[in-house]
Structure 1
C-alpha cells in the first residue's frame, strides 16, 4: 500500500470510498471527522461532479477490476461500498451478484482481502432491498459469508430516506466490524424496530451460523411531509415549464382516477406539488401522479419511468416540467452541492445513482463513530 501523507487531526478517521460516484458519502461523513483519503469510480462524469465539490487528488478514475490494495493509502479504518444495484434491483435484470454490474461486489471484497493485516476496522455496504431477495436470498447469504471469511461480524439494517428528505428511497446497509463489536452490541436475533423490520430480522435469523451482531439504534425521525423544501422557485413564464400542447398530452395520458386526483389538487386555494412518473399500462405510456406529497425514488436517467416530472397545482392552475438538477440535489440532502459540472442529464444521473447524505450522516453518527471512536462519542454525550 502507498503511504502518502495526508494532513489530519490525530483522531481523524481515514476512509476509502469505493464506487464513490459524485461523492455524497464523503459529503455526509466529512463533518463527522471522517476523512476520505482515497476514492474510486469508473465514470468520468461522476468524477467531474466529485471534483467540483471535493479535493479529487486521491480519486482513482478506473475500473475496480484494475484496483489493488497497493493503490490505497495505509491506515484505512473505514471502507464504504455503494456497489451497483442494476442486477439486484426489482426494476433491473435480477442477475444478482453474477451480473456484470452488481458482481463488482466481489472485486471490492478482493481488494479488502488483499489488504490482509491492514484491513479496515469497519466496512459499510449499501444497496437496494432487492439484494435481500436476489436468487432467493442466496446472493445476500454469499456476501455475508464472504464478509465472515474476511473476519467481519455483520449487522444488517434498512433505512428509508423519507425519514430525512421528501423522497421514498428504501435502502439496506451492512455494517461489518472487525475485532471487538461496539459497546452495547448483542448477538442473536434482533427485535423488530424501525431499522429492522421483519424481513431484516429474518436475515439475521438465517445467518446465525456466521458472525452477526446487532446494535440498538435511535428511532428514525419523521421526516418532511411535502416537497416545499426542494422545489426550485420558478416564474410561471420560465421556459422550463412545458407548453400547452405538451401539458395537454400529459393530462390526456392519465387514467380517470389520476385526472380526478390532479383536478382536486388544482382546484384548492393553496399551491402544492406532486411528482409524476411515466408508466407502461396495457401497452400504452401513461403519466401517474404520486399519491402522497413527497417524491418517488430518484433513479438514473435512462428513460421509461426513470425520470420524474414535477407538477405544480393549485388556484385553478396546473404546470408541469422536469425536475431540475438542484431539486435532485436537495432530494438527496445535498442542496449546497455544485451541480454545474457536466450536462444537466449527467447531474441527474449522478444524483439518481447516489446515497442520501442525511441517511449516511445518521449511520455515521449513531453507528460508525461509536465503533471507531467510542471515547469521543462518550465525551460528546
Structure 2
C-alpha cells in the first residue's frame, strides 16, 4: 500500500493548480481521480493541461454531486471552496452566503463517502477565521469533527515562495483513528505557519473538537522582487501610451507620487505593481511599497486587475499584467495558456491556489501522514 499512488479528489478544482502541486510532491505519486467545478471555462483550462480530465473532471454544481458519483479508494480530498462571502473585500455573509456556503455541500458529499478520505485539505482566506466573530470557522470545524476528523489549522502567505502577498488559511483534517504518531495534542508553538491567531483557534477548540498539530519546518524566506516572474519580452503594444501613463501618475496621492519619483530617479530599473482603488468616490492608483505583487484577484472589473510599473533611470512605463505573469506568480511557470480568453485566464489564476504552497504542505504534511515510509525515503 505504501508504494501505491495516493488517490485524490479535487473539489472546486478550478484550473487545476492543486493537482499541479500534488503531482510535484516527492516520494509518492498523487493521482487525481475525480475533480469538479461549476465553470466550463475552468474545465477547459484544466483539460488543456491535463488531457485525462475528460475521464474524471465533472462540470457540475456541487449541489448536484452525490457521494456515489465519486470513485472508490479516495485517500485525500481537497476543497478550495469559494471565498467571496468570507473575504474582507466581499459581502461577509459567511457560510450562509450563496458562494462560501458551498462548504456545507462539500461536507454533505464527504459524509456520504464510504470509506471517507483519510485526509482532507481545505483552503480559504484569513477572513474565514473572523467571519461572524469566528462562528463560521467554529461551525465548519465542528462539522468536520462530527465526520470523524481531527483538525489542524495553518496560515501561510505565498510570499514565502513567490513574490506575491497572498495570505491563506488551511484546515487539515485527519481521520481520528488514523492520526500518526507525530501528531501532538494541545496548542502548537508559535511559528510562521501558526501565528498567534492560529494558536487561539487551537486553544479555543482543542477540548471540544479534537485538535492536533504536526511539527513543520520553517517556511522559506521567498523572493523579494519580481525578477524571473515578469515577461520582459512582452509585446511593446501592451504598454500604455504617454497620456495614459501621465493620468496614472496624476492619480497618485502625494505620498504615492513621492515614492514613484524616487523610483524614477534611481540608477536601476525596477518593477512595481499597482491597484486602482476608489478613495472618497474618486478612482486612484496605489503603488506597492515593496517590490512584490499584491494579492492577485479574480478579474471581475478594472479595479481588480493589477498593473505592472517599470520605472527607473528617468524612464517610466505602465501596463496591465499578463496571464503568463499571473501564472508565474501562482507558481505555475509551465502552465499552458491554451484555453479561454485572456480575461478568463486572469480570472482562473486569481481564483486559484499557489502551487508552491500546496506542494510544501504536500511534502511536509500530507505525504508523512499518508505515505510515511515514502516520506522517510525522501529524506
Supply the distance in 2 between the matched residues of 1:183 and 1:371 (Cα, whole angstroms).
9
Match of 2:48 in 1: 52
Select which of 252, 256, 262 maps to 1:258.
256
Q: Matches of residues 32-111 of structure 1 in structure 2 within 5 Å?
A: 32=25, 33-54=29-50, 55-56=52-53, 57-111=55-109
Secondary structure of 2:137's match?
A: helix
The answer (yes or no) to whether the contact 1:16–1:37 under 8 Å persists in 2 is yes
Supply the distance in 2 between the matched residues of 1:229 and 1:198 (Cα, whole angstroms).
33
Supply the distance in 2 between the matched residues of 1:10 and 1:375 (Cα, whole angstroms).
9
Supply the distance in 1 between the matched residues of 2:144 and 2:203 (Cα, whole angstroms).
17
Structure 1: 5+ residue stretches without partners? 1-7
Supply the distance in 2 between the matched residues of 1:371 and 1:113 (Cα, whole angstroms).
21
C-alpha distance after superposition, 1:154-186 (max 9, x if no partner): 000100000000000000000000122123211
The answer (yes or no) to whether the contact 1:165–1:332 under 8 Å persists in 2 is yes
Secondary structure of 2:283's match?
A: strand
Match of 2:152 in 1: 155
What is the CA-CA distance between 1:334 and the residue it aligns to?
0.1
Superposition RMSD in Å:
1.3
Q: Matches of residues 225-244 of structure 1 in structure 2 within 5 Å?
A: 225-234=224-233, 238-244=236-242
The answer (yes or no) to whether the contact 1:279–1:304 under 8 Å persists in 2 is no
Q: Give the number of aligned pairs.
A: 372
Select which of 164, 170, 188 maps to 1:167.
164
Secondary structure of 1:249's match?
A: helix
The answer (yes or no) to whether the contact 2:2–2:374 under 8 Å persists in 1 is no
Match of 2:119 in 1: 122
1:361 paired with 2:359, answer yes
Secondary structure of 2:155's match?
A: strand
Runs of 4+ in 1 over 6 A off after TM superposition: none
1:19 paired with 2:12, answer yes
Supply the distance in 2 between the matched residues of 1:29 and 1:183 (Cα, whole angstroms).
23
The answer (yes or no) to whether the contact 2:75–2:118 under 8 Å persists in 1 is yes
The answer (yes or no) to whether the contact 2:121–2:173 under 8 Å persists in 1 is yes
Supply the distance in 1 between the matched residues of 2:82 and 2:290 (Cα, whole angstroms).
28
Secondary structure of 2:223's match?
A: coil
Supply the distance in 2 between the matched residues of 1:156 and 1:291 (Cα, whole angstroms).
30
1:144 paired with 2:137, answer no
Match of 2:294 in 1: 296
Supply the distance in 1 between the matched residues of 2:323 and 2:20 (Cα, whole angstroms).
17
Supply the distance in 1 between the matched residues of 2:356 and 2:181 (Cα, whole angstroms).
24
What is the CA-CA distance between 1:281 and the residue it aligns to?
1.2
Match of 2:246 in 1: 248
Secondary structure of 1:182's match?
A: coil
Supply the distance in 2 between the matched residues of 1:191 and 1:337 (Cα, whole angstroms).
37
C-alpha distance after superposition, 1:105-134 (max 9, x if no partner): 00000000011x310000000000000000
Supply the distance in 1 between the matched residues of 2:133 and 2:40 (Cα, whole angstroms).
35
What is the CA-CA distance between 1:318 and the residue it aligns to?
0.4
